[in-house]
Amino acid sequence: MKLKYALFAGTLFATVIIDQLLKSSIRSMMALHDSITVIPGFFNITYGTNPGAAFGFLAKAPPAFRTLFLILVSIVAIVLILYFIVKNKATDNLLTLSLSLIMGGAIGNLVDRVRAGEVTDFLDFSLASYHWPAFNMADSFISIGAVILIYEIFKRRG
């Protein structure tokens, strides 16, 4: 049982710290919309902000509504994840890992929303004429956690 909570706390702490350190570095070393080419035609570090959620969802909504709504959704997600962490078995390490990655990412973006009303994005990928919207480490942790969670769900059903 202690391993489950150590895994949860360690992963959660690491994801939030990594996310916040990288975002802080980007904000302090780059001007908004500046870009550094890392792999030409594929990957840039581009400083941007997103007042909305994934892919700009709610970006054009009234700022007070948008910020309050996204903060409340984050808090609800955090509470649900804490519930599932407590309820899952001590041996479900992959489930614990997935939920802690998702929660760490949610907290990382929540910190940005509370601090500035928007999140800092900087990971910018493209391939030929296809361009993926910029995102950040918190989004990456949420996505990785979601993939692991989906794997766990299918594994349990199979």
Catalytic positions: 121, 139
CB 26 within 8 Å of CB 120: yes
Q: How many CB atoms neighbour CB 21 within 10 A?
A: 11
Question: How many residues belong to the chain?
Answer: 158
Give dist(CA 53, CA 58) in Å, integer.
Answer: 6
**DSSP one-letter code for 31:** -
Reduced to 3 states (helix: H, G, I; strand: E, B; else coil), residue 131 is strand
Residues 6+ apart with CB under 8 A from 82: 103
